[in-house]
Copies of this chain bind each other. A is one copy, B any other.
């Protein structure tokens, strides 16, 4: 998906594709473009670099993923083939099904932090960047123990790094490195990462914006669209069965029960707070199924109770493209975290909840999940009361 985002930015730049899927494209405020009105950085001003366990250049990666069509692959090749991932901070114990040799040699957590920080500094200088945001797009890690002592305060976290405490996961290494470098951080994955008191407090102390977690793209996005409507029409949700089949590398990662648990955690929570009562029969399944590749399919069976206690059913079958839904959101998140940085707003970015399945809240309270209310929050933050007008599309 990272590769798809990079390719997409390049194809946009070349005029080879339109702005479909980019939610902030074409918006205007009082007649001016959103970028002019708010200082939001333009799509064509973004420069991308990053880490991956797999050291192949992005052209090779894109060829393998099969997301771009043949023509798009050719158009993006000149750029993609020049981008090679930096050695990553990995730990096979946290993501058993995805491995690769492109790793930071130092194995201790502190040393990994130092390597990531060095990369950030180097990249900022080399590219002479005005702003910098680190977005986690790595494979889903297994769920760590969120109650571990070293995750409770910034000080304990520091000590944990020095003691190489394995309650600290690779994604926390990246988050910590970003925050301490004053680099905005967002987490598109279900990995716990910055969603622990230690890192939330650190981000607040340093005034660094953070956001996450788990991009809300397919089935869960639909859930947060439908559930508010059911509540609004007083249709009681008696049960909601959701299954997903996907065959890309994300699916392979989730084929490891430990990683899967992280994903199911973020997916499970959205219903009850929207509806105002617990849905006891809310079942979520994710199955690795290769014929599908990146063309994820999500099937939902919803059981409703209406007037006179009578039952109704809705089935939703979303035949989506996983990376196609996710990549443009990743791009927008980066632009918005950068804008928060420009505005000097640090800590948890509440108004970015629109992008995530399990929005971080500063105090661990239940976040807003309804998509349309999340959208309003974002638009309010963006334009401060002025009306944001959608573009022709």
Chain B min CB distance to A304 (Å): 8
CA distance A305 to B20 in the complex (A): 7
Asked whether A20 and B321 contact (CB < 8 A) given A225-B225, A228-B372, A303-B292, the answer is no
Is the pair A308, B324 in contact by a Cβ cutoff of 8 Å? yes
Is the pair A291, B281 in contact by a Cβ cutoff of 8 Å? yes
Is the pair A229, B225 in contact by a Cβ cutoff of 8 Å? yes
Is the pair A21, B306 in contact by a Cβ cutoff of 8 Å? yes
Is the pair B68, A308 in contact by a Cβ cutoff of 8 Å? yes
Neighbour of A319 across the interface among B69, B287, B314, CB < 8 A:
B314
Is the pair A232, B324 in contact by a Cβ cutoff of 8 Å? no
Q: Which of A203-238 contact B (CB under 8 A)?
A: 221-222, 225-226, 228-229, 231-236, 238
Copies of the polypeptide in the assembly: 4
Chain-B contact segment, one of A155-163, A165-173, A177-185, A239-247: A239-247
CA distance A19 to B68 in the complex (A): 27
Tell me if A318 is interfacial: C-beta within 8 Å of chain B: yes
Tell me if A316 is interfacial: C-beta within 8 Å of chain B: yes
Which residues of chain B have C-beta atoms less than 8 A from A372's C-beta? 228-229, 232, 372
Among A290, A306, A316: residue with most chain B CB under 10 A: A306
Chain B min CB distance to A99 (Å): 22
Asked whether A316 and B314 contact (CB < 8 A) given A21-B235, A308-B17, the answer is yes
Neighbour of A277 across the interface among B238, B321, B393, CB < 8 A:
B393
Chain B min CB distance to A210 (Å): 23
Neighbour of A321 across the interface among B25, B222, B310, CB < 8 A:
B310
CA distance A33 to B291 in the complex (A): 31
Mask for A261-288, Cβ within 8 A of B = 1, else 0?
0000000000000001100110101010
Tell me if A325 is interfacial: C-beta within 8 Å of chain B: yes
CA distance A233 to B351 in the complex (A): 16
Neighbour of A4 across the interface among B17, B241, B307, CB < 8 A:
B307
CA distance A11 to B221 in the complex (A): 37
Is the pair A22, B324 in contact by a Cβ cutoff of 8 Å? no
Tell me if A71 is interfacial: C-beta within 8 Å of chain B: yes
Q: Which of A293-349 contact B (CB under 8 A)?
A: 297, 299, 301, 303, 305-321, 324-325, 327-328
Mask for A32-54, Cβ within 8 A of B = 1, else 0?
00000000000000000000000
CA distance A21 to B235 in the complex (A): 5
Tell me if A72 is interfacial: C-beta within 8 Å of chain B: yes
Neighbour of A281 across the interface among B243, B276, B289, CB < 8 A:
B289
CA distance A237 to B43 in the complex (A): 23
Is the pair B303, A324 in contact by a Cβ cutoff of 8 Å? no
Is the pair B283, A285 in contact by a Cβ cutoff of 8 Å? no
Which 6 interchain pairs have the tightest Cβ spacing? Answer: A21-B307, A239-B291, A291-B303, A21-B306, A225-B229, A315-B317
Q: A67-B308, A280-B290 are in contact. List 14 more A-B contacts (CB 8 A).
A: A4-B307, A20-B308, A21-B235, A229-B371, A232-B372, A234-B393, A236-B393, A241-B245, A281-B289, A281-B290, A291-B303, A306-B325, A307-B328, A312-B319
